[in-house]
C-alpha cells in the first residue's frame, strides 16, 4: 500500500498534531505516514510532542527569520527534503503566500475552529474565533477541515462537525470543547481521507 508522507506545521502546543499522531499509532491512518513536524517557533511545545514519539522536527523561527518570504523559502526547502506529499496545518499561525501554495496546490489542509464560512478570514484565529461566536449569540459552532488557498479560510471544505454552544460558556471553555468534540475527531479522519485519495485508492 502506498503511504503518503505527511508534514505537519505547528506554531504552538500541537494538540492537533497529537490527535493525528494518535490516530496514526492506532492504525487509523493506513494511507499516511507522518515524516516531519515543522514549526515557526523554537519554543513550540509541538516540537517536544514530536520528539517524544520519534517524528523528525525542524524549526524556522520567525524571530530569527522575520522576513516571511525567506521563511517560506526555507520551509519549502525542508519540505522538499522530507519528501512530504501532504502538508497539514495544525495550529500554524502564518498565512501562507501564493508562492508556497503554488508548489503544494491542492495538498495543504488546515483545521479552523468554527463552521466556515462563518467566523473565518483575517483576524479569526485561536480564542478570537470563540469570542466572536459567543458575541454573535449563535447556538452551534464547530470545526472545519479545508484545503488552503490564497484566500484565507476560503478553500474547499473537506469535513465539518458541529458543537453545541452552552449557557455560561467562555471562549476558553468553548475552545476546549470544540477541540475535544470536533477538531480531534475530524482532522485525523480528513487526513486519512485525503491520503487515501492521493494514493489512488479512493472509495
Catalytic residues: 112
User: Facing residues of 29 across strands?
Assistant: none
Q: Is 146 left (phi over 0), alpha (psi -120 to 50) or beta?
A: beta
| C-alpha to C-alpha distances, 43 to 13, 14, 48, 69, nearest whole angstrom | 9, 12, 9, 21
Residues 6+ apart with CB under 8 A from 77: none
Residue 136 class from Cβ within 10 Å (0-12 exposed, 13-18 middle, 19+ buried)? exposed
- How far apart CA 38 and CA 78 sit, in angstroms, is 8
Order of strands across the sheet that contains 157-164: 57-59, 32-39, 4-10, 86-89, 108-112, 140-147, 157-164
Rounded to whole angstroms, the Cα distance separating 95 from 72 reads 10
Amino acid at each position: 500500500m502506498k503511504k503518503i508522507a505527511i508534514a505537519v506545521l505547528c506554531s504552538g502546543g500541537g494538540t492537533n498534531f497529537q490527535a493525528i499522531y494518535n490516530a496514526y499509532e492506532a492504525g487509523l491512518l493506513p494511507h499516511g505516514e507522518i515524516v516531519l513536524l515543522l514549526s515557526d517557533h523554537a519554543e513550540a511545545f509541538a516540537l517536544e510532542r514530536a520528539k517524544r514519539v520519534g517524528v523528525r522536527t525542524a524549526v524556522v523561527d520567525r524571530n530569527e527569520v522575520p522576513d516571511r518570504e525567506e521563511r517560506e523559502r526555507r520551509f519549502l526547502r525542508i519540505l522538499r527534503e522530507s519528501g512530504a506529499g501532504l502538508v497539514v496545518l495544525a495550529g500554524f499561525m502564518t498565512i501562507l503566500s501564493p508562492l508556497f501554495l503554488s508548489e503544494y496546490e491542492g495538498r495543504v489542509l488546515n483545521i479552523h475552529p468554527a463552521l466556515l464560512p462563518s467566523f473565518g478570514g483575517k483576524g479569526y484565529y485561536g480564542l478570537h474565533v470563540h469570542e466572536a461566536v459567543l458575541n454573535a449569540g449563535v447556538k452551534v459552532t464547530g470545526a472545519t477541515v479545508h484545503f488552503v488557498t490564497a484566500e484565507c479560510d476560503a478553500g474547499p471544505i473537506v469535513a465539518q462537525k458541529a458543537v453545541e454552544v452552552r449557557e455560561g460558556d467562555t471562549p476558553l471553555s468553548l475552545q476546549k470543547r470544540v477541540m475535544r468534540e470536533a477538531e480531534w475527531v475530524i482532522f485525523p479522519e480528513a487526513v486519512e481521507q485525503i491520503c487515501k485519495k492521493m494514493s489512488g485508492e479512493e472509495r
